[in-house]
């Protein structure tokens, strides 16, 4: 871990900072020690600050709301979430839908903002083999599959994790991972 005095040259020399959210800035709904002060300092000194998450359950606006409840002084321009990145990727490639969403409302909100039609939104944590069967059959027939992350687990609290499926639907699927550390994230942050 970098001590405060050792970190000052790094802070002074960089103009842009990217932070993962879950486990770096917060855990569940608890801000980690020093996160608020660091973000306040960076934004106050006119640095480019991006909070990045592979969690697509919320839209960028919903993450702004969460950040504000945690006391972080951010706006939508500071948030880069995988739901937005996936919707942006589809929009940049001229795709208007319909999109079969196996996920939660955050993904739908980001698709709505870009005028992309969609269906199938549901609580992804409660997925079953039966519910994933239809999209998996589409994937096996060559329909592109966009996973918003490949995480094996979702941290709910410091002690509790929920398993996730990541790349599970088909090893042979055409796959795009829009979040960290993949190219579509870089496109969203750099533009």
Q: 121-130: per-residue pLDDT in tens?
A: 765 555 556 5
Decide which of 151 and 136 is more confident.
136
Look up the CATH number of the domain holding residue 126.
Answer: 3.40.50.1000
Instruction: With both helix axes pointing from N to C terminus, report the angle between 82-92 and 105-113 in degrees, rounded to the nearest 10.
Output: 40
- The CB-side HSE value for 148 (13 A sphere, CA atoms) comes to 29
- 89 with 177, same domain: the answer is yes
The predicted model scores a pTM of: 0.75
- 101 with 158, same domain: the answer is yes
> Which of 26, 58, 82 marks a domain boundary?
82
Decide which of 74 and 82 is more confident.
74
CA distance 75 to 54: 18
Cβ neighbour number for residue 111 with a 10 Å cutoff: 26
Predicted confidence (pLDDT) at residue 146 exceeds the cutoff of 90: no
β-strand pairing of 175-176 with 161-163: unpaired
Range of the domain at 147: 83-181
CA distance 173 to 169: 8
CA distance 166 to 156: 17
pLDDT at 183: 60
Q: Which residues pair with 119 in a beta bridge?
A: 100
Predicted confidence (pLDDT) at residue 173 exceeds the cutoff of 60: no
Kindly indicate the confidence band of residue 145, based on its pLDDT and cuts at 50, 70 and 90. Answer: confident
CA distance 25 to 36: 8
pLDDT at 188: 58
């Amino acid at each position: 871990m970098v001590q405060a005095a050792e970190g000052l040259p790094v802070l002074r020399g960089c103009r842009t900072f990217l932070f993962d959210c879950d486990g770096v800035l917060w855990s569940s709904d608890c801000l980690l020690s020093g996160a608020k002060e660091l973000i306040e300092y960076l934004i106050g000194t006119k640095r480019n600050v991006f909070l990045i998450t592979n969690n697509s359950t919320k839209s960028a606006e919903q993450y702004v709301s969460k950040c504000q409840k945690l006391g972080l002084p951010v706006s939508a321009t500071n948030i880069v979430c995988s739901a937005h990145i996936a919707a942006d990727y589809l929009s940049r490639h001229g795709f208007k839908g319909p999109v079969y969403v196996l996920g939660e409302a955050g993904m739908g909100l980001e698709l709505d903002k870009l005028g992309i039609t969609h269906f199938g939104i549901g609580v992804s944590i409660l997925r079953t083999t039966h519910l994933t069967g239809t999209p998996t059959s589409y994937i096996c027939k060559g329909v592109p599959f966009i996973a918003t992350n490949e995480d094996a687990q979702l941290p709910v609290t410091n002690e509790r994790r929920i398993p996730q499926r990541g790349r599970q639907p088909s090893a042979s699927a055409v796959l795009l991972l829009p979040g960290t550390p993949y190219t579509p994230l870089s496109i969203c942050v750099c533009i």
